[in-house]
Amino acid sequence: METSSSATSLSQLTSGEVHVIVGPMFAGKTTALLRRIQCETDKGRSVAVIKSNKDTRYGLDSIVTHDGAKLPCWALPDLLSFSEKLGTEAYEKLDVIGIDEAQFFGDLYDFCCKAADHDGKTVIVAGLDGDYLRKRFGSVLDIIPLADTVTKLTARCELCGKRAFFTLRKTDDTQTELIGGADVYMPVCRRHYVSGQVVIEATRSVLEKQKVLCDSYVEATSC
């Protein structure tokens, strides 16, 4: 009896999975996530999708891809409170948890460990691997060692149509988390990332010089 119960708990313990989908903006990460979630639903598995409540571009109760596909979801500030919010019983029945915009969750690593290692869930994570400076974004890279599979998607370079690996910010804002769409960001290839950064840096320094001139002019005239 005890053998069979420990065998059951062992099978629950080892049945979890972590799949990671990364890439620049406009690479179809959310679409790929929704496709995998749909696939799991078709297999009869119980699914839930979580996204960050920081991204309010499309409303909070649904997840929408750039091409308009829609799925109901939970918009939360963190992941570890999810089971409590959903209710323990409902959480236990869940087979698959999708996480979109994963770069915004500080507790991503701990959540994936708990959900996959201990709770036997299949966790499918989509997020940006790098920010507009091509530096790590949030904890997405930290969960690569936990993953069964890692998929890096690419977009199309907005300037030449070649494969795009990076996200270029078109404005001179410098905070890491600046939420926006095609008005603020564009996908670019390596060559256009490098030349684009040069143009943006040059623009920023010209604007800063003008601001200094302007400020000193205001000061001079107000004296």
Binding residues: 185
Cβ 188 vs Cβ 157: under 8 Å = yes
What is the nearest approach in angstroms of Zn ion to the Cβ of residue 25? Answer: 15
Active-site residue, selected from the candidate residues 17, 84, 89, 101: 101
138-167 positions binding Zn ion, by CB under 5 A: 157, 159-160
| Interaction of residue 192 with Zn ion, rule CB under 5 A | yes
Q: Which CB, 66 or 162, lies closer to Zn ion?
A: 162
Does 47 participate in binding Zn ion (rule CB under 5 A)? no
Interface size with Zn ion, residues (CB under 5 A): 5
Active site (annotated) includes residue 101: yes
93 CB-near residues (< 8 Å, 6+ apart)? 46
Q: Is 126 helix (H, G, I), strand (E, B) or coil?
A: strand
Least distance CB 193 / Zn ion (angstroms)? 8
Binding part of the chain for Zn ion, among 68-76, 95-103, 167-175, 183-191 by CB under 5 A, reads 183-191
CB of 160 to Zn ion, least distance (A): 3
- Contact present, 71 and 63 (Cβ < 8 Å): yes
Contact 141, 102 (CB under 8 A): no
- Specify the residue, 150 or 153, whose C-beta has the smaller distance to Zn ion: 153
Q: Quick one: how far is CA 151 from the chain centroid?
A: 13
Q: What is the DSSP letter of 144?
A: G
Residue with tokens 């890279």: 141
Q: With respect to Zn ion, which residue has the nearer C-beta, 136 or 170?
A: 170
Binding-site entries for substrate? 185
- The one-character DSSP state at 115 is I
Q: For 92, what's the count of Cα atoms within 13 Å in the CB-facing half-sphere?
A: 3
Distance CA 113, CA 192 (A): 38
Q: Cβ closer to Zn ion: 191 or 211? A: 191
Closest approach of Cβ 195 to Zn ion, in Å?
9
Shortest Cβ distance from residue 220 to Zn ion (Å)?
45
Compare residues 156 and 204 and give the one whose CB is closer to Zn ion.
156
122 forms bridges with which residues in the sheet? 17, 96
Q: Is 86 an interacting residue with respect to Zn ion (CB under 5 A)?
A: no
Tell me if 149 sits within 8 A of 126, measured CB to CB.
no
Residue 196 to residue 191: CA distance in whole angstroms: 8
User: Active-site positions?
Assistant: 101
Positions touching Zn ion (CB under 5 A) are 157, 159-160, 189, 192
